[in-house]
Structure 1
Amino acid sequence: MDTLDSLNAAINYIEEHLDNEINYQQAAQIACFSEHHFKRMFSFLAGIPLSEYVRRRRLTLAALELRDNNKKVIDVALKYGYLSPDSFSRAFQELHHTLPSRVKQTGVSLKAYPPISFQISIKGDVEMKYRFVEKDSFHVVGYKEVMQPENGDFNPTLWSTLTDEDYANLEMLRSEDVDLSGVLNITVNTCHGPDQSEEALEYYIAVVTDQVAPAHLAALEIPKQQWAVFDAEGEMPDALTNTWSRIYTDWFPTSGYELTEAPEIVKNVDDTKIEIWIPVQKG
């Protein structure tokens, strides 16, 4: 099953569970991604967060049920995941610009958001610069933050908390590495919680080194891996954001490659160029 088929199968799963609790980890497994990457890819492809898509679809179905059946507002609210008629009415009015109690009235206008499906589209001849790199295992040391992002959002606080002295200390630990020189931004999907079922992200600002991590820093072993390395060139951060988007919307669906469970790395080359290292394997 290719990437587009897997994504559409995940959407079918979500559609089948709109009137029940949606297990986003299971949806992500159907799509052959981690939960974070699934939500991130959905957001890039659909243009809205997955949570917003689910909200719109549930309120679309709720409007149809209220219009075509003699169901109570509270029963429809509970069916589609709202704990009270008030919260349901607020969400319903925000989307449909009318109250749930008025949908049967003549002339009331409702909004419908149909199920989404992903297809390949031709967007124009815009090149993407990338290369494949086979790299043996290596060791990094740096500052670490654990996050639990929603819908693919990625907003670490390390960016704003590290000082020039912190970066200088990292540079003192750095070993020479032909491929990954300088200070790196590394993201790892992990599981946390007592039963290891809570997906989280570990974010590192780190350097490749052969030294043992000092007590105030964290260490990470990155295994031997094949990487697809993409060049983001131009004015930052727009060039970086656009390249990330095209990796998910243009490259993965048509490349025949899949993400593997390994870290993603961002390497600053200069003020106008950044490399994005994506761990991949042939699908």
Structure 2
Amino acid sequence: MLERLNQAMAHIEDNLDREVDVKELARIAGSSEYHFRRMFSALAGIPLSEYIRRRRLTMAASEVLSGQSSLLDVAVRWGYGSNEAFARAFRAMHGVGPQEARSTRKPLQSQQVLRFTLTIEGSASMEYRVVEKEAFQVVGRGTRVPLVHLGMNPAIVEFIKGIGRPVLERMEQLSDSDPQGLVALTSNQEGNQEGDHLDYFHGVVTTKEAPEDMETITVPKNTWAVFTSEGPFPETIQYMWRDVYTQWFPSTSYESVEGPSMLRTEIDGDTARAELWIPVTS
């Protein structure tokens, strides 16, 4: 898997000065486009589109400093339709505009070419099972929240607090299917950077009808990889997400498919026991 990911990275380098076809990158990596984007973001720490943008601006910076081409020629060569658009993107990455960089020779930023390697960390194993599950419904309430990598997510905390304990207790009484109890569904994540937004739905898996003050989400039939972990809250949950994409997926024949992921959490003081459901295919 890692070798094919590195072949995809080489393809990006060969096509930086033209449109990069993500479907072709996914084909080279031997995965779906959806899984390739998720895997890349988890491994690299930035979205694929951001990596390509930064690589182009790194190459553009060297041409700006060389002085052999006009700034407009450099802008067009690296995909910008005007000096103004190029200058905005250049300044956002390097902290100075291209004209200033050329005249003052100030230090610029560089996005290095990524190459993925396997790192062996400790001897801990990841507990998981694979479940076939027919289509089901989740009843609850949803919102859109910013992504937070470490620590509590204030937007989610406030959203759940706003639902109120009485409504949460009524939700729990509706639960009659696995996973039991309150679950959190996340989907439609726009990127992997802190502050990027995603859909968040707090509810229960049930066969019962939703009360008037709640919504219903239908989740299609899927194969699910189900992971369990226990440890300090909230780090255990956030590390579990990271480890699934950076360690488990690269070492198995499974890949994620588009659809909501589910998280069921039991908290006892500072300790959390979490069960994470991710839709997969092999």
Shorter-normalised TM range: 0.7 to 0.9
Kindly report the root-mean-square deviation, in angstroms, between the aligned alpha carbons of the 2 structures.
3.7
- Alignment of 1:101 onto 2:99: no
Q: What corresponds to 2:172 in structure 1? A: 171
Q: What corresponds to 2:182 in structure 1? A: 183
Q: What corresponds to 2:277 in structure 1? A: 277
| Alpha-carbon separation, structure 1, partners of 2:19 and 2:43 | 24
Of 242-251 and 271-280, deviating more is: 271-280
- Post-superposition offset of 1:223: 3.6
- Post-superposition offset of 1:145: 3.1
Does the aligned pair in 2 maintain the 1:144–1:217 contact within 8 Å?
A: no
Of 269-278 and 159-168, deviating more is: 159-168
- The 1:19/1:169 distance shift into structure 2, 3 A limit, reads farther
- The 1:249/1:92 distance shift into structure 2, 3 A limit, reads closer
Where 1:226 maps in the other structure, the secondary structure is strand
Report the TM-score when normalising by structure 2. 0.73
- Post-superposition offset of 1:206: 1.4
| Alpha-carbon separation, structure 1, partners of 2:101 and 2:253 | 46
- Alignment of 1:231 onto 2:228: yes
| Alpha-carbon separation, structure 2, partners of 1:145 and 1:253 | 31
- The one-character-per-residue Cα deviations of 1:199-253 (angstroms, maximum 9, x if unpaired) are x954321112222223443223334433221123211111111111110111101
Instruction: Tell me the amino acid that sits aligned with residue 227 of structure 2.
Output: F
- The 1:148/1:112 distance shift into structure 2, 3 A limit, reads closer
- The 1:130/1:113 distance shift into structure 2, 3 A limit, reads same
Does the aligned pair in 1 maintain the 2:11–2:25 contact within 8 Å?
A: yes
Of 180-189 and 14-23, deviating more is: 14-23
Q: What corresponds to 2:248 in structure 1? A: 251
- The 1:124/1:91 distance shift into structure 2, 3 A limit, reads same
- The 1:156/1:279 distance shift into structure 2, 3 A limit, reads farther
- The one-character-per-residue Cα deviations of 1:87-118 (angstroms, maximum 9, x if unpaired) are 25523642899943148x6xx76554332132
| Alpha-carbon separation, structure 1, partners of 2:154 and 2:13 | 32
- Post-superposition offset of 1:120: 2.7
| Alpha-carbon separation, structure 1, partners of 2:213 and 2:201 | 13
| Alpha-carbon separation, structure 2, partners of 1:41 and 1:16 | 21
Q: What corresponds to 1:195 in structure 2? A: none
Does the aligned pair in 2 maintain the 1:41–1:248 contact within 8 Å?
A: yes
Does the aligned pair in 2 maintain the 1:89–1:99 contact within 8 Å?
A: no
Where 1:134 maps in the other structure, the secondary structure is strand
- The 1:267/1:6 distance shift into structure 2, 3 A limit, reads farther
- Alignment of 1:90 onto 2:117: no
Instruction: Tell me the amino acid that sits aligned with residue 116 of structure 1.
Output: L
Structure 1 consecutive aligned stretches of length 4 or more whose deviation exceeds 6 Å: 95-98
Percent sequence identity over matched residues? Answer: 37
| Alpha-carbon separation, structure 1, partners of 2:109 and 2:141 | 47
Instruction: Tell me the amino acid that sits aligned with residue 128 of structure 2.
Output: Y
In structure 1, list runs of 5 or more residues that go unmatched.
150-154, 191-199
- The one-character-per-residue Cα deviations of 1:40-78 (angstroms, maximum 9, x if unpaired) are 432321234445423431221002223446211233234
Instruction: Tell me the amino acid that sits aligned with residue 185 of structure 1.
Output: A
- The 1:90/1:130 distance shift into structure 2, 3 A limit, reads same
Q: What corresponds to 2:121 in structure 1? A: 123
Q: What corresponds to 1:61 in structure 2? A: 59
Where 1:234 maps in the other structure, the secondary structure is strand
In structure 2, list runs of 5 or more residues that go unmatched.
148-152, 190-196
| Alpha-carbon separation, structure 2, partners of 1:13 and 1:185 | 37
